[in-house]
């Protein structure tokens, strides 16, 4: 029997085998934090066609079941079957594009004069086994050996003691003592050491990415990514903060993200036959809210004026306390945040950009679920959050979606017929429009006169692409079983977002007494940054009208920064220096920001003079 | 309606009120770690008479139910009722004898030139509240204030961060920072401080005792005691170590003792309206096995040659990790152990005895469930465990019981009629014989010729008190519904125990090159020690034949030592010095010990010359 997927791929499934298992055998991984017991309710798929047996669990609502949604671990095909893997259910492990970047990572690390300097140190010890005469306890035996070597003041925790005695005996008293600065003993491993690996995590509001790294040489062993399951509690950080203040909300949010990370870790470790205990160190980056939730800290004060996080600089903690599925005693480092809306992901990304080391003035932008910007060089750094909102990731846009298969990612409109030509991710039937598609759409509509400077449809134009829908006027990009449109309300939302970004950049550069023209380099980070058409974004008026060669795309710079911090304590310190050095501007309370924002609510801007290249194009 | 108790006491109970509640209203506390939900199965009572309604739960076996045993929290009298509180179910709170000792404790503390020097320090801080301009995070705000005061390198844990932000706001930024040496911040409390209390715990193999102390003046607020629920897994440490190695055994044992301690704490705190958070510090003492189980450390190596504990000196840990029902961040100090069978309870007791400070040679004995002895003075200390076994606490003796109500605690035998006269605890019908009763019994039987030098019954004597029972010859001390006897097998067990104690003392003093006559002081510690008749114990040959005025009874010296350590960091150091200074002798592998032991298996000893006072008595 076969299971056919919406991607066109078809995989075999044995009689009595669950869909989850069949997919796993073909290296298609779903989120299944319960390990396939039907209790986490995460491996959701929709049955499009075919007969199957399934166990109904409380984890699916009636409306889910009406739609043909089942849990893959509880569902057993009885004949050929066609399924759709639901967006939030998929783990991506072994992403080829990311793995191809492995060499770039090593080179970046080298270019930062990076010498591997791990946070977990090792001390090879051979202890005399206990006898009736030499009957001191295991811990005192270890301390005596440390004394002989002149190592003073080592601290020992409950977690260390719990596993120490068995390990000493298992390794026949020839051991490696793993410790961190303090010094604090963290665990005992075999004298001849096994693999030493590390975990790097980027907790995005929408997406979670992990790297598993070989710490001996910095090689990327594998990557994994998935949607942040917190999405079910709201798309943006504000909704999640509100949810966190409800009875058990904070715990639920924390568990959701930890289970996502653990599912990814487990899948990668299983694939590569790496033991959990070998992951001896972890580095995590996320925006301030994600970092707080990961830490189990109530984020409520982040949302209320004067917007104060509990911490920006987090202490080191242990994987066991954090409940990460790696060595329980592994130290977990959290990239420092700057303020309530500029987090460790930005600090991590800036470290990866190296802009804090260069004399040239650079602009760093990360337009993901939130929008953060920073300007500066090796002398100074200033940053702000511009609350662009999650519309570029599809939220709040009628047919908006993330940049995955089926998303319209690029658009061209014929200036005479007003007919669009589309580029769809995966070259398949379009199912929505993603951020870069939205930017293309509006700038093309503007250039061809479908919308005016205010983003309103020019109703006089002759085309049946423009029509009146349920929610007012809309432009139809695709006609099919399900039309794909952009409504005037959608455009308004996108205009607000782009105005917030532009106003933020503009105000930040003015704040330090420079003009936009002094920006010598623009780094675009974030998943979104990978697909951004700079020309179109300039026409939209989202980013300053600067020469194309000044732009650099960093992709997910946050995970790159965590990779760097995993390998080098020196680079951790450097990240901390960045966080300390950054001046944070609270735009939400600035009257100048409102002025800038209002001026930016046009295509490309009230003052067209700021966009000479667009002005030229319009002529 | 009334509930009548086996003590003769009668208390009122309202309609619809559970037995548990009625008892609590009258300050009779049962173990109920689930808080009366019927899930912990600990508040067991036996219904002797009367009608009641009860909910049957899986926590009671059929055989329990057949005996009329119910859970007090699930049982509601419908008319006057008579009950028996089962031994393991009872919490004793507010023990009058212990509370009367409060003044002695203060005086002892003073006599050790004790100045209160708490482990938890306080720093009064007033932080400027955050504003839009001064928007650093809560943690950085705290660090800035510490910087201003020149306090460097304070560490912060996840536990601290979790509660810090709310506390700062609740106390309007006028706070007290509680910290321990390191320095490490542990919690934030109100600027104007509330009560500061401490918890002292003695974890005995059989009994658990807690003290709640006012840390401002060292006053004993209340005491609580109960049986160690681990008893259900075995009477002695060896059985428990074996149980700990079974699948979930270690966890069960740990949970049992922690729930006992928490039940006591909760009851005392409720009675005195003290908030959990006010208990800011704890000190625990127990033998090495009890300490390991409390720490969740597998005790298996304690039992196997060469008998190695995981640790003798335990790091400080947090109440939250230890799962104690006090302030989660409270540091929990464990009295150091000396070796596998000489634990923190002995170190604690010796601290309370002050023998380590004096020039005179002293003998310290703690004959509880195990038997530990130590000899020494301010120059040197030597110690051993003599595996006396738990027979003096009733275990392994046909009608043996602990020294509670109904126990025969003293015996006199008429040398002519061989009729005994008994003294029973609580002046009630005897239900068994406790340790001091056993010692009296054998020495009286020996003096009156009922048993010979080997502890065998002299069958020729004329009395119906001596009879042949199911298990061979036995002497009947009490005739009633249930006769109370001591069998020849019982006497053999007691002889083995006393021989082990005497041989241990004898060997220890020889080991340091002295004779028994050089012992200038004997400290008798342990619950058992309270009731010991020295003359009789000498006749039995359990303790050396020394003048009566050299003996001092310390009662539970272990809890006294924890009290001292709770109030003074200096005395903790002193306890550590004691533990370090003590030389441990492993008797179980010593051939000399076997010789001494064999010689001591007589009444009072093979060499009667060692017991001149007994020799005189026999003539």
| DSSP output for B283-350 | EEEE-HHHHHHHTT---HHHHSTT---S-SSPPPEEHHHHT-SS-TT-EEEEPPP-BTTB-HHHHHHH
> Does residue A230 lie within any of the structural domains?
yes
Cβ contacts of A305 on chain B, cutoff 8 Å: 132
Range of the domain at B185: 121-190
Q: What is the pLDDT of residue B193?
A: 62
Contact yes or no for A132 and B157 at CB 8 A = no
> Does residue A346 lie within any of the structural domains?
no
Cβ contacts of A311 on chain B, cutoff 8 Å: 137-140, 161
pLDDT tens digits, residue range B411-463?
999 999 999 999 998 888 898 999 999 999 999 999 999 999 999 999 999 99
Where among A85, A104, A134 does a domain terminate?
A85
* Residues A307-329, mean pLDDT to the nearest whole number: 97
Same domain, A476 and A605: yes
* CA atoms B264, B265, B268, B270: torsion sign: negative
Cβ contacts of A315 on chain B, cutoff 8 Å: 155-158, 161
Cβ contacts of A297 on chain B, cutoff 8 Å: 161-162, 165
ipTM of the predicted structure? Answer: 0.91
Least confident of A270-274, B525-529, B559-563: B525-529
Please say if the pLDDT value at position A234 is more than 90: no
Same domain, A297 and A444: no
CA distance A601 to A492: 9
- Read off the CATH number of the domain in which A260 is found: 3.30.420.480
Separation in Å, CA A136 to CA A188, B347, B589: 18, 16, 16
* Residues A77-91, mean pLDDT to the nearest whole number: 90
| Size of the A and B interface in Cβ pairs below 8 Å | 121
What number of residues does chain B have?
A: 619
Cβ contacts of B313 on chain A, cutoff 8 Å: 137, 139-140
CA distance B170 to B186: 17
Q: CB under 8 Å to B4, separation ≥6 — which residues?
A: B10, B80, B81, B82, B83
Same domain, B407 and B528: no
Is residue A438 exposed (0-12), middle (13-18) or buried (19+ Cβ within 10 Å)?
buried
Percent of chain A past pLDDT 70, that is, above it, reads: 99
Cβ contacts of A165 on chain B, cutoff 8 Å: 297-298, 301, 310
Q: What are phi and psi of B485, to 5 degrees?
A: -130, 165
Residues of chain A whose beta carbon is less than 8 angstroms from a beta carbon of chain B are 130-132, 135-140, 155-158, 161-162, 164-166, 169, 295-298, 301, 305-315, 317, 321, 337, 339-340, 584, 586, 589
Q: What is the pLDDT of residue B475?
A: 97
Q: Give the one of A132, A138, A321 whose C-beta lies nearest to B589's C-beta.
A: A132
Contact yes or no for A135 and B313 at CB 8 A = no
Residue reference for tokens 């849990």: A71
Please say if the pLDDT value at position B501 is more than 70: yes
Same domain, A425 and A552: yes
Residue of A nearest to B316 (CA): A157
Measured N-to-C along each axis, helices B158-170 and B138-148 cross at an angle, to the nearest 10 degrees, of 90
> Does residue B343 lie within any of the structural domains?
no
Q: Give the one of B132, B165, B169 whose C-beta lies nearest to A306's C-beta.
A: B132
CA distance A466 to A463: 6
* H or E segment to which residue B538 belongs: helix B534-540
Q: What is the pLDDT of residue B173?
A: 97
Same domain, A446 and A329: no
CA distance A532 to A393: 12
Q: What is the pLDDT of residue B529?
A: 55
What number of residues does chain A have?
A: 619
Contact between A208 and A198 (Cβ < 8 Å)? no
Residue of A nearest to B165 (CA): A310
> Does residue A348 lie within any of the structural domains?
no
Residue reference for tokens 């031994």: B87
Contact yes or no for B165 and A298 at CB 8 A = yes
Q: What are phi and psi of A211, to 5 degrees?
A: -115, 135
Q: What is the pLDDT of residue B234?
A: 87
CA distance A305 to B131: 8
Cβ contacts of B164 on chain A, cutoff 8 Å: 310
Contact between B52 and B75 (Cβ < 8 Å)? yes
| Mean pLDDT, rounded, of chain B | 93
pLDDT tens digits, residue range B332-387?
999 999 999 999 999 999 999 999 999 999 999 998 778 899 999 999 999 999 87
> Does residue B62 lie within any of the structural domains?
yes
Same domain, B440 and B523: no
Same domain, B314 and B260: yes
> Does residue A211 lie within any of the structural domains?
yes
Distance of CA B599 to the CA centre of its chain: 32
Q: What is the pLDDT of residue B191?
A: 78
Q: CB under 8 Å to B514, separation ≥6 — which residues?
A: B361
CA distance B487 to B467: 10
Separation in Å, CA B435 to CA B408, B443, B537, B540: 9, 13, 11, 12
CA distance A483 to A400: 12
Where among A175, A190, A205 does a domain terminate?
A190
Q: For residue A238, what are its two tokens?
A: 């504000």
Picking from B251, B308, B309 by the largest number of A CB atoms within 10 A of its own CB, the best residue to mutate is B308
Same domain, A393 and A515: yes
Residue of B nearest to A296 (CA): B162
Same domain, A575 and A601: yes
* CA atoms A164, A165, A166, A167: torsion sign: positive
Same domain, B273 and B222: yes
Backbone dihedral region of B557: left (phi > 0), alpha (psi from -120 to 50 degrees) or beta? alpha
> Does residue B379 lie within any of the structural domains?
yes
pLDDT tens digits, residue range A208-222?
999 999 999 999 999
Please say if the pLDDT value at position A528 is more than 70: no
Q: For residue A6, what are its two tokens?
A: 């919406």
Q: Give the one of A136, A169, A310 whose C-beta lies nearest to B138's C-beta.
A: A310
pLDDT tens digits, residue range A407-456?
999 999 999 999 999 999 888 889 899 999 999 999 999 999 999 999 99
Measured N-to-C along each axis, helices B591-599 and B488-511 cross at an angle, to the nearest 10 degrees, of 130
Q: What is the pLDDT of residue B312?
A: 98
CA distance A430 to A409: 10
Contact between B90 and B30 (Cβ < 8 Å)? yes
Where among B440, B462, B484 does a domain terminate?
B484
- Read off the CATH number of the domain in which B185 is found: 3.10.20.880
Q: How confident is the model at residue A574 (pLDDT cuts 50, 70, 90)?
A: very high
pLDDT tens digits, residue range B244-267?
999 999 999 999 999 999 999 999
* Residues A256-269, mean pLDDT to the nearest whole number: 96
Residue of A nearest to B130 (CA): A306
Overall domain count for chain B: 5
Angle at CA of residue A290, ends A287 and A294, nearest 5°: 135
Same domain, A19 and A162: no
Same domain, B150 and B274: no
* Residues B18-41, mean pLDDT to the nearest whole number: 89
Distance of CA A348 to the CA centre of its chain: 12
pLDDT tens digits, residue range B67-88?
999 999 999 999 999 999 987 7
Bridge partners of A176, per DSSP, are A124, A189
> Does residue B128 lie within any of the structural domains?
yes
- Read off the CATH number of the domain in which A41 is found: 3.10.20.30
């Amino acid at each position: 029997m076969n299971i056919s997927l919406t991607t066109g791929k078809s995989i075999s499934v044995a009689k009595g085998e669950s869909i989850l298992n069949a997919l796993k055998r073909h290296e298609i991984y779903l989120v299944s934090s319960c390990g396939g017991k039907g209790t986490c309710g995460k491996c959701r798929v929709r049955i499009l066609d075919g007969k199957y047996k399934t166990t109904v669990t409380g984890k699916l609502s009636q409306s889910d079941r009406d739609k043909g949604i089942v849990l893959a671990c509880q569902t057993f095909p009885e004949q050929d079957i066609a399924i759709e893997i639901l967006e939030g259910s998929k783990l991506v492990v072994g992403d080829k594009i990311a793995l191809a970047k492995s060499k770039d990572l090593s080179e970046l690390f080298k270019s930062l004069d990076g010498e591997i300097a791990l946070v977990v140190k090792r001390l090879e010890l051979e202890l005399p086994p206990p006898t009736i005469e030499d009957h001191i306890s295991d811990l005192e035996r270890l301390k005596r050996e440390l004394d002989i070597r002149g190592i003073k003041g080592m601290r020992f925790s409950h977690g260390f003691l719990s596993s120490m005695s068995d390990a000493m005996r298992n390794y026949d008293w020839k051991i490696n003592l793993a410790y961190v600065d303090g010094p604090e003993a963290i665990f005992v491993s075999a004298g001849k050491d096994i693999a030493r690996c590390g975990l790097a995590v980027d907790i995005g509001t929408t997406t979670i990415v992990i790297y598993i790294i070989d710490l001996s040489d910095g090689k990327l062993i594998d990557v994994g990514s998935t949607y942040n399951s917190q999405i079910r509690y709201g798309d943006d950080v504000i909704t999640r903060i509100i949810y966190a203040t409800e009875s058990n909300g904070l715990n639920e949010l924390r568990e959701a993200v930890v289970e996502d990370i653990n599912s990814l870790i487990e899948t990668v470790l299983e694939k590569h036959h790496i033991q959990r205990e070998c992951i001896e160190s972890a580095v995590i980056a996320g925006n301030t809210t994600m970092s707080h939730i990961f830490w189990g800290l109530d984020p409520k004060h982040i949302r209320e004026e004067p917007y104060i996080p509990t911490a920006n600089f987090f202490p080191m903690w242990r994987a066991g306390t954090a409940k990460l599925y790696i060595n329980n005693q592994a130290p977990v480092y959290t990239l420092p945040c700057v303020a309530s809306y500029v987090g460790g992901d930005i600090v991590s990304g800036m470290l990866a950009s190296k802009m804090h080391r260069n004399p040239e003035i650079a602009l760093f932008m990360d337009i993901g679920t939130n929008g953060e910007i920073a300007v500066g060089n090796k002398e100074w750094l200033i940053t702000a959050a511009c609350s662009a909102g999650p519309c570029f990731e599809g939220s709040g846009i009628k047919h908006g979606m993330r940049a995955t298969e089926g998303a319209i990612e690029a658009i061209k409109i014929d200036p005479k017929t007003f007919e669009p030509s589309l580029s769809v991710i995966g070259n398949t039937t379009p199912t929505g429009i993603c951020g870069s598609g939205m930017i293309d759409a509006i700038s093309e509509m503007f250039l061809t006169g479908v919308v005016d400077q205010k983003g309103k449809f020019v109703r006089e134009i002759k085309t049946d692409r423009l029509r009146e829908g349920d929610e007012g006027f809309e432009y139809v990009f695709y006609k099919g079983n399900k039309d794909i449109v952009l409504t005037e309300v959608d455009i308004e939302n996108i205009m607000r977002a782009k105005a917030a970004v532009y106003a933020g950049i503009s105000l930040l550069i003015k704040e330090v007494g420079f003009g936009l023209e002094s920006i010598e380099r623009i780094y675009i980070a974030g998943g979104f940054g990978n697909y951004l058409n700079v020309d179109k974004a300039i026409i939209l008026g989202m980013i300053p009208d600067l020469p194309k060669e000044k732009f650099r795309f960093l992709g997910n710079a946050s995970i790159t920064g965590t990779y760097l911090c995993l390998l080098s304590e020196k680079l951790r310190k450097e990240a901390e220096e960045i966080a300390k050095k950054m001046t944070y501007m609270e735009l939400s309370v600035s009257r100048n920001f409102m002025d800038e924002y209002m001026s930016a609510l046009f295509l490309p801007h009230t003052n067209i003079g700021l966009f000479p290249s667009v002005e030229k194009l319009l002529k």
